[in-house]
Amino acid sequence: MIAAEPVEAKLRAAVKAGAISGKFAGEIEAQALAGGVISQAEAEALERARTLRRKVIMVDDFPRDLGRSEVFQTSQPVTFEALQRKRE
């Protein structure tokens, strides 16, 4: 991710200067590569950063009953005070 930061800065500067345009990152990167704004190695660094970013976002390390296990279940009426005492 850190290696891709200077490349992303190059892309932002090129877009701001009007050298390249596009709505999506893939379009901008393709134009930048074709226009010589970034090298093939820099394009690969961007792709690697995108892959790593996606892996971080797609973390699925939560129990299936997340939230449900915290609910106090009983068939008897429960008061707020009783729940507070249970937490303490």
Helix (H) or strand (E) holding 87, with range, is helix 80-87
Q: For the residues 62-88, what does the mean pLDDT come to?
A: 63
pLDDT at 55: 86
Those residues with Cβ within 8 angstroms of residue 87's Cβ, 6 or more apart along the chain or in another chain: none
Please check the confidence at residue 7 and state whether its pLDDT lies above 90: yes
pTM: 0.61
Domain extents in the chain: 1-88
Average pLDDT, the chain: 82
In the three-class reduction of DSSP (H, G, I as helix; E, B as strand; rest coil), residue 58 is classed as: coil
Higher pLDDT, 49 or 79: 49
pLDDT band with cut points at 50, 70 and 90 for residue 22: confident
**Do 20 and 51 contact (CB within 8 A), yes or no?**
no
